[in-house]
Amino acid sequence: MKGIPTIDCMMGLHEGGEAAMLRKWLEQGLLRDEESKSYVQPAEHFFKGSRDAIERGAMLKDIIALMDEVGVEKGLVGVSVEDDHGPNLEVIEQYPDRFFGYVHLNPYFGMDHVSKLEKLVKNHSGIKAESVCAFEIQRPYSDNMYYPVYAKCVELDIPIILYAGMPGPRVPGDCQNPMYLDEVCWFFPELRVVMRHGGMPWEAVCISLMLKWPNLYYSTSAMVPKYIPKDIIHYANTRGKDQVMYAGYYPYIDFHVLKNGVEELPLRDHIWPKFLRENAVRVFKL
């Protein structure tokens, strides 16, 4: 993209992880409306072509060819904390120059998941981050249930990725108000925190918090580029040049839609390398 070898801070590999996650949410009673119960992607009402993309699938070689075509050098993919030999982990091990990983865990399971996170990070050099999702347990990020996870990320020197803003899935969303990160950033000043999925409708809060906390970052995941909030683009062009980074949402958003949309963003010339590459390299220590 823009002639810059791009780091994509969120992509999938058609590995079926979303389906397993949806099954867990259904078992927990988290998804209650009938339409959501039939989904193959958590927010299918927002991403109308996602069902076809998932059911059509793609071979890994074709995904890498697509990455080459649009200029994505390396992509961040998810690994379950329960899976020490999963398909995404194998891909990360096999193609360390093209993929790096984050471990998704549920803080409800306490030190069991924290210990498994530590094992994955220490045994696999391609694991560069951890993620949690507040709406899965309906507790805000300032809740003490998360604190062992935050502490372990500081100890392992990896960033934590948090889903911020109103969730796409039809679940209550107040727990993902980014204001709850104010206390987290205060208590863990060493912790690198990446807000994922836009933070809307609280994007102004995201900006205010980033102005305050230098270790708080914003990624543009799960948004067609033209819908990235204008205030975020302005912040990236000014005081936030080191805190805003590119993330797509393949396969739920087509790579070509992402590339074409990104290249139309009104970013200043010197911001492009930071947005598309340098900030991610620094935050994830690539």
Per-residue pLDDT tens over the stretch 267-279: 999 999 999 999 9
- How many beta carbons lie within 10 A of that of residue 187, not counting itself? 12
The HSE-up count of residue 188 (CA atoms within 13 Å, CB side) is 24
Q: Look at residue 28 in the predicted model and tell me its pLDDT.
A: 82
Residue 20 pLDDT > 90: no
Structural domain count of the chain: 1
Residue 157 pLDDT > 90: yes
Which range of residues forms the domain containing residue 101? 6-12+69-283
Q: Look at residue 27 in the predicted model and tell me its pLDDT.
A: 80
Q: Look at residue 55 in the predicted model and tell me its pLDDT.
A: 67
Query: For 194-225, what is each residue's pLDDT tens digit?
Result: 999 999 999 999 999 999 999 999 999 999 99
Residue 101 is assigned to a structural domain of this protein: yes
CATH code, 241: 3.20.20.140
Amino acid at 70: V
Q: Are 246 and 281 within 8 A, CB to CB?
A: no
> Which helix or strand (DSSP H or E) is residue 136 part of?
helix 134-137
Residue 217 is assigned to a structural domain of this protein: yes
Query: For 34-92, what is each residue's pLDDT tens digit?
Result: 887 777 767 666 777 666 776 677 889 999 999 999 999 999 999 999 887 788 999 99
Over the chain, what is the mean pLDDT?
A: 92
Q: Which residues have CB under 8 Å from 205's CB, separation 6+?
A: 177, 178, 179, 199
> Which helix or strand (DSSP H or E) is residue 175 part of?
none
Distance (Å, whole) CA 12 – CA 76: 8
The tokens of 48 are what? 């109308």
Residue 47 is assigned to a structural domain of this protein: no
- How many beta carbons lie within 10 A of that of residue 103, not counting itself? 27
Residue 137 pLDDT > 80: yes
Closest CA to 100 of 123, 129, 72: 129
Q: Look at residue 16 in the predicted model and tell me its pLDDT.
A: 61
Residue 239 pLDDT > 90: yes
- Mean pLDDT calculated for residue range 173-197: 98
Give the length of the chain.
286
Q: Look at residue 15 in the predicted model and tell me its pLDDT.
A: 62
Residue 104 is assigned to a structural domain of this protein: yes
DSSP 11: B
DSSP 276: I
Residue 168 is assigned to a structural domain of this protein: yes
Residue 62 is assigned to a structural domain of this protein: no
Residue 52 is assigned to a structural domain of this protein: no
Residue 258 is assigned to a structural domain of this protein: yes
